[in-house]
A and B are shown apart, each in its own frame.
Chain A
């Protein structure tokens, strides 16, 4: 069950590494754009895992799930970038921590 000569385990390790980098980045960075990129990284880490397991288990469902994730990620980016633009128009250079009006 190899993909381009590597076993599924390696792909999964890559997915975990990408996911961890994305998650860590999300937690430590305050620039909203960079945070978005981190979120994308995490989503695509999951996509890698889907594809690897789909191929490894010989199940086309893995690749189908990737399409759903891509669509969700696209819509999320549309809304998110719109928010970022809107916030930047009012308060240029605002970080994610500056926008905390909804605190309890």
Chain B
């Protein structure tokens, strides 16, 4: 069955091809069903591969399926191969699983859209690219998927491109990601230069022979790429704007799957991180935790429901990077999975709300929607409790594991993490209270209603997952640490070992429960009981995301632009000048030399005679008499 791993990628690719050719003819809703079935087929294949991998001995749970030779170039060759190991299969499972649910939801959400079939063309292409990214057996193939998801992200953010703002948001996402891609490419070239291969297994086998400086450089450059894709400081700026896309896109690409690609990449290259200097993981951890705190702060004051969720996604990605930086790779993947469930749930829930209120995204015009849309409300509340870190919901377990490792690495990291947790509980509670509780603030012409079954069914499934996903990796005993044991073959023993005793872990867990309680209680006081005006907690600076966007604009528009123009001038004058100069001097030389050709036979004769005399003199001079 492992050899058939290519089926996981083949289903969405086939769906893409069919929809590309016949999408318009199939029309609504059949095009959506084709895409959803393709995802379901991919999910079933992933499950089959998962079970056959489970059936193997843990030491042999690493399998490369070589499909064909992709880039044969002298002694450099890249095969298109799939690396099937616990890490990639875990990713494939939740990408296809959550992806299938969101495809299903989108059939309802995109109802009546003029470009209904085109939307599913893009969605299937995205799923294919994402699966190439996670299953690729080399940095080059991962990069192919990496760029593929970037293109799909661009296409889907600016899906309603007739609105200038949406098109601009798409461009912003694409260009910001290019900055990160530059780091990824340099890292790939460097790795090839140092080790002569970009295949993961070759890299990992020889990681120990790298000098620590080289390994550090590769890791930091890869992290630059990961920071672009996974929206870390300072490259996060594209993600809040990416909410311009349709809500299923926000749920699938900008919350559950694509943005986790950076975290996946960093977990994937864990042997390189182990070979790097000690400060490299420190940088990753601190950037992660700073992003988490920063984005949580910004989420406190957003009024657009999707912007709150976008900043919350950035914040949770920060947690995952914190986990990577502290060596808690299992916790990073664990949180990625639980986050995929509850954040997809929250986004789809917000989509239902937006749908019910005719596209209004401003929470100030929501309120008291609980009665009108009970299924959405209940599932959304499950998602809220999960992300706020309330036990026994999924988010509590994964976040707690990350915080335990953070404490183990440095209490300062833990402190920032726990403050972020309090803020998270606060802003998510704010969102829920403003949307589902309080008094109705929407206009009288709006008639909020529960969406169709097609849209509520994925909500229910995801809510179920958000409740139980914590069971994937319970901390109580080693036997219950399922995910830790499962991922072991992919981590090559690089997973950090928690030195905390059981008592200390309980204490930390109690502190984070208290943090969640404080955050929720604060939101209750402000948004339900109105003991404090909301303007006291919604700082204008936070609403503008602490002016990072403005800083970028000023930097890129000012010194950045001058620097680019300087480079462009250098290119136009020096580089092009050298090339043009060669051509120009040859032309000038020719123009001068052709004056010798007068067309007068007698002058040719004179020159010939002069030449003959010169030759004669030369021979005479050489001959010694």
Binding site for B on A (CB under 8 A): 23, 26-27, 30, 35, 96-97, 99-104
Contacts and interface: CB of A to CB of B under 8 A. Distances in A.
B1 interface: no
- Which 4 pairs show the lowest CB-CB distances between chains A and B? A103-B599, A100-B599, A104-B594, A104-B597
Interface string B593-625: 011111111100110010000000000000000
Contacts of A99: 599, 601
Contacts of A35: 601-602
Residue of B599, B606, B609 with most chain A CB atoms under a 10 A cut-off: B599
Given A104-B594, A104-B595, A96 B600 contact: yes
B607 to A, nearest CB: 11
23 contacts: A23-B609, A26-B602, A26-B605, A27-B602, A27-B605, A27-B609, A30-B602, A35-B602, A96-B601, A97-B600, A97-B602, A99-B599, A99-B601, A100-B598, A100-B599, A101-B599, A102-B597, A103-B597, A103-B598, A104-B595, A104-B596, A104-B597, A104-B598
Nearest to A32: B601
Contacts of B606: 27
A101 B599 CA distance: 6
Contacts, number: 34
A58 B175 CA distance: 90
Nearest to B606: A27
A99 B609 CA distance: 21
A95 B443 CA distance: 103
A30 B605 CA distance: 12
Contacts of B605: 26-27
Interface of B: 594-602, 605-606, 609
B575 to A, nearest CB: 33
Contacts of A100: 598-600
Contacts of A27: 602, 605-606, 609
A97 B605 CA distance: 12
B599 A102 contact: yes
Contacts of B597: 102-104
Contacts of A96: 600-602
Contacts of A104: 594-599
B311 to A, nearest CB: 73
A41 to B, nearest CB: 13
B603 to A, nearest CB: 9
Given A27-B609, A99-B601, 18 more contacts: A23-B609, A26-B602, A27-B602, A27-B605, A35-B602, A96-B602, A97-B600, A97-B601, A97-B602, A100-B599, A100-B600, A101-B599, A102-B597, A103-B598, A103-B599, A103-B600, A104-B594, A104-B595
A27 B610 CA distance: 12
A27 B601 CA distance: 9
A101 B605 CA distance: 17
B335 to A, nearest CB: 78
Residue of B597, B605, B606 with most chain A CB atoms under a 10 A cut-off: B605
B136 to A, nearest CB: 61
A101 B597 CA distance: 10
Residue of A30, A35, A104 with most chain B CB atoms under a 10 A cut-off: A104
Contacts of A23: 609
Contacts of B609: 23, 27
Contacts of A97: 600-602
Contacts of A30: 602
Nearest to A97: B600
Nearest to B605: A26
B443 to A, nearest CB: 85
Contacts of B602: 26-27, 30, 35, 96-97
A104 to B, nearest CB: 3
Nearest to A103: B599
A101 B596 CA distance: 14
Nearest to A23: B609
B609 to A, nearest CB: 6
B310 to A, nearest CB: 71
A53 B606 CA distance: 27
Contacts of B595: 104
Contacts of B601: 35, 96-97, 99
A16 B351 CA distance: 107
A90 to B, nearest CB: 17
A101 B600 CA distance: 9
A61 B598 CA distance: 39
B602 to A, nearest CB: 6
A83 to B, nearest CB: 11
A87 B385 CA distance: 105
Contacts of B594: 104
A87 to B, nearest CB: 12
Nearest to B609: A23
Contacts of B600: 96-97, 100, 103
A35 B602 CA distance: 9
Residue of B595, B597, B600 with most chain A CB atoms under a 10 A cut-off: B600
A53 B493 CA distance: 98
B108 to A, nearest CB: 79
A35 B606 CA distance: 13
B596 to A, nearest CB: 7
A43 B199 CA distance: 77
A43 to B, nearest CB: 14
A34 B605 CA distance: 14
A99 B604 CA distance: 13
Contacts of B598: 100, 103-104
A26 to B, nearest CB: 5
A97 B596 CA distance: 15
